[in-house]
Structure 1
Amino acid sequence: MRVGYSFWGFVGPGITDTPDGGRSFRAPLLDALAARHQVVLLQDNRDLAEAGDDLTDRYSWHTGLPDLDALFLEWRWPLDGRNTTPCGTPGHTCDLHRQQDLLDHYTHRLGVPTIIWDLDRVLPPDDPIRRHPAVAVCEPAAHPTPGAYTLRCPVDDMALDAADSQRLASGDRPWPLVYVGNQYGRDAEFDRYFVPAARAHRHRVAGKWTRTERWPHVNFTGRAAFLDGQQLHRDALATVLLLPSRYAEVGHITQRLGEAVLAGCLPITPARIRTSTTLVPPQLLAANGRQVTEIVTTLNTGSTDLRADLLADCLRRLDPFRLSRQLQTIESLLHTGTTA
């Protein structure tokens, strides 16, 4: 099959000033799809244009309307002042216009099987596109919107199989607690879980946080490049899995879980997240900031073996996130789940 893949972000490390969260899984996913199909990337080549990273020997970009057998969209949505402005306007990005052109041509006009991956949970439940006979909507949620399918943020099988919990638990970890990610919709969770622990432990928060006046004791260090964020996880004992409520209530788990565990950074997980007991061992579940503080203290004063045992458990629990399992879902939808 010839599969068109649309995303607004980077395959490689990209640039610092971007919220693109797909960089940890996008290349492995594209490579796995390309091993089975001919894959064409349908948005602008931002790797080359913005990051100066020439990946055209590995991936094929096309800004027209090539012949396709299937369409895969990382869903884009309106962002005022960015992709809703006229083309050519300063600051305009054409991701939304391009997505609509793709939908108009392939999905509506030709009835090409189309997968919409709603990674940010922004597609309204009553959007007519959900009822289109050629469309399957997917979400990284254990309990997705009715009619949608679960397609988790994938963890590369090879990375997971190669992970050694004892090795990951050893070495110097100067930061007891970190958070790598942006503020979007996380203030309440940050207040409840991270802020109390930040009073007791050396910590760092890397990401775009623009409203921080209420937390003068928190060490915000601004946006970090993608590779620097990965290194920060390797330098930390623990992080907190902070999810907006619209994610937490359906078990919509972001890529941060896999990123942290594969870096040996233990993911302390709010117990209120639906399916939280399947994600981490009981020792890493927290009901409030006091419990987060206590868990970090235990990890900071505990043995390497303790951390290794917890990491081994976390690695086992990543099995449902394996890339190979997500490919099974994608293949099923490409061949049988979407019919015009």
Structure 2
Amino acid sequence: MCEPALYPSPGAASLLFPVADDALDRAYPAALAAEKRELPLIYIGNQYDRDTAFEEFFAPAAAQLPHRVAGKWNSTARWPHVNFTGRIPFDAVTPIYRSAVATVLLAPDRYARTGQFTQRLFEAVLTGCLPLAPRTLRAAETVAPRELVVTSAADVVATVTALARIAGSQAHADLIARCIDRLDPFRLTRQLRTLTAALAGTTIPPLLLEGDRA
């Protein structure tokens, strides 16, 4: 009936991971941009089927940038240069994001094909940690401004380096604001309308994606 993807299977509706409306409405880009960010690059999340994306977009970049990877990663021998710091409690997630300039949205292939984004996207954006979206993600430009869509690990390095240069500036705040705006399809009120319509068997409100707008 429903799938948590921007491009679900035929016949299924998009019921996305929700983000609270008040969290979006209370986000203050200028204050987020002003926070001190000591790490250029982080990733928070588990390994599950993300090896391909990690190998293409994160691991080579980690060889050139100070970074941290937090989460459950059991098979890491091929990346001895990566700073894996293990699992963290939920209340440590926000401070880590607040310490970093950017993260990379790593996804298993099955998520990438359908444009499925988890709460990690909201956690990053709402702390001012900018999400770099690999070109392999369907709907990458729906969730990230074009300048944050990356094509390779070298592009990750170049983008993070450029972002570090503007940290704390109005341009940085404006970029955070644009990322917040792109979370609009995930608003909790939208998901509640979709769920209510699906359960009632009525017309499900259409989801207007960034690429569909005039």
TM-score, normalising length from structure 1? Answer: 0.58
What secondary structure is seen at the aligned counterpart in 2 of 1:238?
A: strand
Q: Pick from 158, 180, 192: which aligns with 1:327?
A: 192
Could you tell me the percent identity over the aligned residues? 51
> Which residue of 155, 166, 169 corresponds with 2:33?
169
The correspondence of residues 69-218 of structure 1 with structure 2, limited to 5 A, is 137-218=1-82
- 1:42-100 superposed Cα distances (whole Å, 9 cap, x missing partner): xxxxxxxxxxxxxxxxxxxxxxxxxxxxxxxxxxxxxxxxxxxxxxxxxxxxxxxxxxx
CA RMSD in angstroms, aligned pairs only: 1.0
2:142 aligned partner: 278
Q: In the aligned structure 1, how far is the partner of 2:159 from the partner of 2:153?
A: 10
Q: Kindly indicate whether residue 96 of structure 2 is the aligned counterpart of residue 232 of structure 1.
A: yes
Instruction: Please give the per-residue CA displacement for 1:126-153, whole angstroms capped at 9, x wherever unaligned.
Output: xxxxxxxxxxx32111111222211111
Whichever of the two has the greater Rg, that structure is: 1
SS of match in other structure, 1:268:
strand
SS at match of 2:171: helix
Q: Deviations over 1:158-184 (max 9, x none)?
A: 010000111111121111110000000
Letter in 2 for 1:261: V
What amino acid is the match of 2:105?
L
Secondary structure, counterpart of 1:237 in structure 2: strand
Larger RCO of the pair (alpha carbons < 8 Å, separation 6+) = 2
Opposite residue 209 of structure 1, the aligned amino acid is W
In structure 2, what is the equivalent of residue 41 of structure 1? none
* 2:34–2:167 Cα contact (<8 Å) kept: no
Cα offset for 1:326?
0.4
* Residue of structure 1 in register with 2:210 after alignment: none
Letter in 2 for 1:254: T
Query: Structure 2 counterpart of 1:262, which letter?
Result: L
Task: Say whether 1:316 aligns with 2:181.
Answer: yes
Q: Residue 191 of structure 2 aligns to a residue in which SS?
A: helix
Partner of 1:215: helix, strand, or coil?
coil
| Structure 1 unpaired stretches of 5+ | 1-136
Q: Which runs of 4+ in 1 moved over 3 A?
A: none
Q: Deviations 1:316-337 (Å, cap 9, x if unpaired)?
A: 1111110010010011122225
Q: Determine the C-alpha separation between the residues in 2 that align with 1:201 and 1:285.
A: 18
Gap runs ≥5 in structure 2: 203-214
- Deviation, 1:312, is 0.5
Partner of 1:242: 106
> Which residue does the alignment assign to 2:165?
301
The answer for the alignment partner of 1:223 in structure 2 is 87
Q: Greater share of helix residues, 1 or 2? A: 2
Shift of residue 303, structure 1, vs aligned partner: 4.0
Aligned AA (1:232): I
Give distance in 1, aligned partners of 2:136 and 2:55.
15
Contact 2:15 / 2:194 at 8 angstroms: preserved in 1? yes
Amino acid aligned to 2:117: I
Distance 1:190 1:230 in 2: 22
Q: Shift of residue 257 of structure 1?
A: 0.8
Report the CA distance between 1:306 and its aligned residue. 2.3
CA 1:193–1:145: 2 relative to 1, 3 Å: same
Structure-2 separation of matches of 1:173 and 1:185: 29
What secondary structure sits across from 2:85 in the alignment?
coil
SS of 1:273's equivalent in the other structure is coil
Match of 1:81 in 2: none
Measure the CA separation in 2 of the matches of 1:283 and 1:320.
20
